[in-house]
Amino acid sequence: MAGYRLDRTNDDIQLVLSELLRSIKDPRINQGMISVTRTETTGDLRYCKVYLSVYGLENEKELKKGLKSASGWLRRELGKRLSLRYTPELIFELDNSIEHGAHINEIISQPGFLGNEKPESISGDDKIDDQ
């Protein structure tokens, strides 16, 4: 499958799964705000890794159990909404890149990191004498 077509398929899967995840009533899945950050489908459309970012995640194990139990329904609904030769098996992964980015921003914004510190005034005593 051509690269642009696979990219378009990944975008379609991401959009449909975002809608479907909002409609699930399972409390294990609705413990935080879930966003589908990206999807990676194999070239033969047999498998699709779905990367999720969850804001306010309380229990990662329970979320994974809930997603695993809902994966059959999600796959069936995905097959109904998209006309693909094969409906891929969904593999869910937690994506912590947003949290990681926030942590990096916090480190960068600290005083003293890469010159973010205010320059101290130079007094007459601190001058270097040429000898």
What per-residue confidence (pLDDT) applies to 38?
94
Q: Which domain holds residue 86?
A: 3-102
As given in the structure block, the two tokens for residue 51 are 């990367």
Per-residue pLDDT, 16: 96
Q: Is the entire prediction scored with pTM above 0.75?
A: no
Burial grade of 38 (CB within 10 A; 0-12, 13-18, 19 or more) = middle
Write the pLDDT tens digit of every residue in 69-106.
999 999 999 999 998 889 999 999 998 777 777 778 88
26 neighbors 69 (Cβ within 8 angstroms): yes
Residue 128 pLDDT > 60: no
Phi, psi of 39 (to 5 degrees): -135, 145
pLDDT in tens, 18-51: 999 999 998 888 877 889 999 999 999 999 999 9
Angstrom distance (rounded) from CA 69 to CA 98: 26
More confident residue, 31 or 53: 53
Domain-embedded: residue 35: yes
Q: Is residue 122 part of a domain?
A: no
The answer to whether residue 56 is domain-embedded is yes
**Mean of pLDDT values over 102-123:** 70
The pairing of strands 33-41 and 47-55 is antiparallel
pLDDT at residue 92, as a whole number: 95
Residue 3 confidence (pLDDT)? 78
CATH number of the domain encompassing residue 69: 3.30.300.20
Q: Residue 75 corresponds to which amino acid?
A: R
Overall domain count for the chain? 1
Tell whether 66 is covered by a domain. yes
More confident residue, 21 or 3: 21
